Amino acid sequence: MAYKWDQSLETGNSAIDEQHKSLIKAINDLLDACSQGKGRIEVQKTLNFLNDYVVKHFNDEEKLQLKSKYPDYIAHKKLHEDFKKDVANIVSEFEKGGATIPLVAKVNSKIGDWLIRHIKTIDKKVAEHVNLNK
């Protein structure tokens, strides 16, 4: 299942939206690499990019939250930490067993679906707060 960027995912913060687009592309690239049976190195490279980019993106988002005094910063940061753990667990699972069907399902549910829901609900609230408190 490929994830598509559309207007419902726009937060109104161009920097965050561009990072979200990159994350969605990385998830789609990972799903493609797994489903097309690309080599282990290609899947690992995509997983590593996703893992690193999630950390960068969340750090950038959290800086904006702190700067704008976002009132729900602690809870949002916890969601980010939980997500980073999920990505790390998927990386570990891949290293042990390769690109299995259950791994692809986890990429869909624990990464792709989670990210889309998070953007549409939580990140939109953050962007609204940040945009109001510039």
Cα angle 81-83-86, degrees, rounded to a multiple of 5: 115
Which residue pairs from 117-120 have beta carbons closer than 8 angstroms and sit at least 24 positions apart in sequence?
A: 118/79, 118/83, 119/9, 119/11, 119/20, 120/8, 120/9
Report how far residue 16's alpha carbon sits from residue 67's, in angstroms, rounded to the nearest whole number.
15
Query: Can you tell me the mean pLDDT for 11-18?
Result: 89
* Domains of the chain, start order: 12-132 (1.20.120.50)
pLDDT (tens digit per residue) in 50-76: 889 889 999 999 999 999 999 999 999
Q: What is the pLDDT of residues 18-36, one digit of tens each?
A: 999 998 998 888 888 877 7
Tell me the pTM. Answer: 0.85
The pLDDT value recorded for residue 45 is 82
pLDDT of amino acid 73: 96
Q: What is the pLDDT of residue 134?
A: 72
CA distance 115 to 83: 9
